[in-house]
Amino acid sequence: MRLTTIKLAGFKSFVDPTTLHLPTNMTGIVGPNGCGKSNIIDAIRWVMGESAASRLRGDSLTDVIFSGSSARKPVGQASVELIFDNADGTIQGEYANYAEISVKRIVSRDGQSSYFLNGGRCRRRDITDLFLGTGLGPRSYSIIEQGMISQIIEAHPEELRTHLEEAAGISKYKERRKETESRIKSTRENLDRVRDVRDEVEKQLEHLNRQARAAERWKALKEEQTRREAELRALSYRSIARALDEQGGALRQAEIEIEKHLAEQRQIEAQIESGRERHQAASEHLNAVQAEVYKVGAEIARVEQQIRHTRELAERLERSREETERAWAELGEHIAGDRAQVEMLRQALAEGEPRAEALQELAAQAAEALRTAEAKLADWQPRWDAHTRAASEAAQAAEVERTRLDYLDRQSLDLAKRREALEAERKAADVGALDAAAESLGAEHEAQRERVDTLGGLLDERKAAHERVLDEERQVQAVLNETRQQLQAARGRLASLEALQHAALGQEQGAASAWLAQLGLDKARRLGEALDVDAGWERAVETCLSGLLEAVLVDDPHALSGELQGAGEVDVALFAAAGAVAQPVPGSLAEHVRGPAAVLALLGQVRTAESLQQARAIAPTLPAPQSVITCDGEWLGPGYARVLRAAGKQVGVLAREREIHALAAQIGALDARAAELGERLEALRTEKFESERARDDTQRELYQAHRRMSELAGQLQGHRGKVETARARMEKVGAELAELAARSAELEGQAREARARLEAAVARMGELEEQRRALEAERRQLLEAREEARMNAREADDQAHQHALAMESKRTALASLEQALARMQAQQAQLEARRVEIAEQLASGHDPMAGLEAERQTYLDQRLLVDRQLVEARKALEDCDAEFRRYEQERQRVEHRLNELRESLSEKRLAEQESRLRAQQLAEAIAAAGLELQPLLDELDEAAEPAQWQQALADLEQKIRRLEPVNLAAIQEYEEQSQRKTYLDAQLADLTSALETLENAIKKIDRETRQRFKETFDRVNAGMQELFPRLFGGGHAYLELTGEDLLDTGVAIMARPPGKRVSNISLLSGGEKALTAVALVFAIFRLNPAPFCLLDEVDAPLDEANVGRFSSMVNEMSERVQFIFVTHNKATMEAAHQLCGVTMREPGVSRLVQVDLAEAAKLAGAA
């Protein structure tokens, strides 16, 4: 895989669209300081996903957009595109089959970045994933820019480890491990929640199972009850069917009577139809005579119209004759005038022909003069081009020498700055200050250790507080769940009781409900709902009010008594809802009841007794209206005794009403308790969140304190090493100062030579300037001559053209006049013929008038005859009308009798329909119960009596009441909860299996990570031990692990240049650090070569010998790795296969100049 092309537009100083082609594996980027070379490195880092503006040498990501210069305005967006050759399939996955891969990034002024892969929009994550394991990335070891050498060498062991991880290709494993850990955490949380929910569902299932079994038994009895009711309805259906047979015979007799009268009606209608035909014939005859009258009148009108038309035609012909005479005279005048103009135009054309030939000759002479002037100007252009090339070469030579002088001046300035820095370093070297700094760091380290201990204790306290909140939350949650279960059970019980109460009080749908709905009383309270009975006396009140508990409470029952006739065959009772409440009779049943006054008046006539014996003793002493009853419902009166033991539908109504009220109050209390617990639970969750956050904050502070303590320990160790190496450093400074003095003298000599060459180039430029002025003066003279010739040629052309246009205009006018003259002569001939024609028409126009007058008289005589025929036809039509009215009266009489018979038949059919409707309703009720009518009728005995089925239904009702109340919803709830538990069990198994799979994946990732990291570490360590002596010409270096666990251990570099024993890597010089970093990076590249390597002035701190060894190694590795390096060093430039120059001739705008050195060498050899 290779980087083949870099495209930049609007990125930093590359404002114009710029393309950098990279055909070789050794590309050097050169140019003066500040021209934008490093911007190319920043562009590559940016397009590969870099999101930190500081790493792109900016304050924000929009700083990469060109912000304008003295001559250019800012642009709105920046874009960079990298094109890779993936012919070797380095990139895997969905892009493995692409031979070329394009990665592009665009950013606008609003800070929004867009990424593109092969032209398609993608995420930044997709770009990062594309390069995982290849060694490429915005912060990988493949990009070494200014300042990163010291960062690599002085990096913490944990940071240095990341480069080895990228080389080992385990960065993608780390990403997968992080994702897997997050999924494990989420799976464990889901597992805990599913277990809690499953345990709660198991508790609910135990309770619902008991309710469901009772409900199933209740449903079985209700199904049997439904079948018995259907069989009872089938018996009623059979009796109705027999009645329908009798009604059918009466219907057939009535239909025969109707058929007889229909025959009489048809006879009369036939007579009416015959009279209608005679009437139609008379009417048609009248219409024919009427049409003849209209026809004769129309002919008379036509003849009179022709007479008027003939007179008008004669008048028009006379007017036309006059107009034709006038037009003939005018046309003769026009013909004479046009003939005169034709003669004039012919004479003018004959005179203009010689003038046209002379003007054409003048135009040809002017064109020849123009061609001569242009040829002289063309001869001047090669001399000007030769002068321009000579001037450009002289200016380029001068620019080269100026650039060389600038470079030498910068080198001299850098040497001076380096001397000043070394002198300042020698003066500033203070071992005592370093000792003091080490003691200060030791004190700060001890203080940080105490802070770690304090934060550890605080963290333990906050963890304990968090656990206390969790315990209380679990307790409140358990109480809330129990309260919700009680609330659900109470609501189920209330729903069942209300359903039974509605059935007992007759509030279900039926005939009575329909009648009450018509009166607007379907929502009115029932008597059973309005009574408040003392405990123990419910059965007594139900016995006395048996059949009245479902009575409807209204304002005035007597006001509605007139509507009772519309109730049909249903039982309806009305009670006044209010009324004057009198003091109840002492010892009466009314003392134990609170309710409407009318009910209390009834119960006031019933005395109470504690036992049946007491009631039997009291009964004989009571007056006729009064009676006595016990609390068990044993009712004795004058001449009667009554006790209700059967399970009627109103038995238990009052006790059930009291339980309904009690359940409603209990539900309200449970609702309030659940709301209170919910608020407390929410408060505990908030408190849990706060305590968790406080715990995490403390843990974070403890981690930061530990980290700071580790940093202080590292700094303390570094300061102690600095004290040991300070004196050795001073010796080295002295040697370097002597070397800098020699280098400064050499640069002065090179500067003198460059200035001499610059002066020669400037003198040559002066000579060429004199030549330029002479050539420009000659060019001005030639241009003036050409312009004069061009104006003369244009003027001659214009004159010839104008004369030609005038001649052509006269020819066109002559042709037009000749055509017009011929046309007018033809018109004159036509007008002469028209004059003759009009004279002939006027002479023959007097003959038709006499014939038209005779024709009009004939039609007037015919009109008198048809008027008499019209009177006779109208008389015949009136006779037919009288006969038709007589037949119509007879038909109406027969129809009246038929209507009477039909009404009688309709009444019989309505009665039959009512019977059929009742039968249909019974059949529909049976079908609604899920049964079929015919099988029921076949199964029933012919002698079956409805009373037997009514008794069986009463027994079933009693059995059902013994089971009540039941929770009918328990069956469905039990099924739903069972399904939910099955689902939860499966989910629990899935989560457990998933957790096990994820944990195994973590173990596998860790195992492969350890294995790959260890293999990579050993191979990179071996490579560094090999490359370090080659770069330094001796010495040795190696890598060292800082911990035991290969998953998180850091990596340290140990390096000893030839003849030195250093205890810390930071004690090396800048050049030594650079070579050490290069040895590490190249060792990594030998193991896992990234597609390319970017080096930004890595050779800057190296001397000539080290640069040679560095260039040799880069050249050797370029066989497998593509290198792109920024350099100012000549030796490094010589090693490049291709040089790319970055210039900034326009201030603030970078441009590229590319040179293939191999091709340049071939051209130089050929020259």
Residues contributing to the annotated binding site for ATP: 32-39
Q: Determine if the peptide bond prior to 557 is cis (ω within 30°).
A: no
Q: Rounded to a whole number, what is the distance in angstroms from the first to the last CA of the chain?
A: 37
Following DSSP, what letter does each residue of 352-372 receive, concatenated?
HHHHHHHHHHHHHHHHHHHHH
- Contact present, 948 and 276 (Cβ < 8 Å): no
- Contact present, 198 and 985 (Cβ < 8 Å): yes
Structure tokens at 275: 């009279």
Write the single-letter amino acid at 932: E
Decide: residue 121, CB within 10 A, 0-12 exposed, 13-18 middle, 19+ buried.
Answer: exposed
Strands of the sheet with 635-637, listed across from one edge: 606-609, 627-630, 635-637, 640-642
**H or E stretch including 171?**
helix 171-428
d(CA 158, CA 1048): 8
- Contact present, 228 and 952 (Cβ < 8 Å): yes
- Contact present, 44 and 113 (Cβ < 8 Å): no
Cβ neighbours of residue 372 closer than 8 Å, sequence gap 6 or more: 789
* 3-class SS of residue 580: coil
**Within a 13 Å sphere around the CA of 643, how many CA atoms are in the beta-carbon half?**
7
**Within a 13 Å sphere around the CA of 588, how many CA atoms are in the beta-carbon half?**
21
- Contact present, 167 and 1088 (Cβ < 8 Å): yes
Closest to 1059 in 3D by CA, of 1036, 1040, 1078: 1036
| 143-144 and 120-122 beta bridge pairing | unpaired
Cβ neighbours of residue 806 closer than 8 Å, sequence gap 6 or more: 352
d(CA 1148, CA 12): 9
Decide: residue 542, CB within 10 A, 0-12 exposed, 13-18 middle, 19+ buried.
Answer: buried
d(CA 1149, CA 1139): 19
Closest to 968 in 3D by CA, of 978, 980, 960, 956: 960
**H or E stretch including 104?**
strand 100-108
Structure tokens at 614: 């007491």
Tokens 């040799």 found at: 1112
- Contact present, 116 and 102 (Cβ < 8 Å): yes
- Contact present, 1063 and 721 (Cβ < 8 Å): yes
Closest to 390 in 3D by CA, of 769, 759, 754, 760: 769
Closest to 1122 in 3D by CA, of 369, 82, 39: 82
Structure tokens at 393: 């070469």
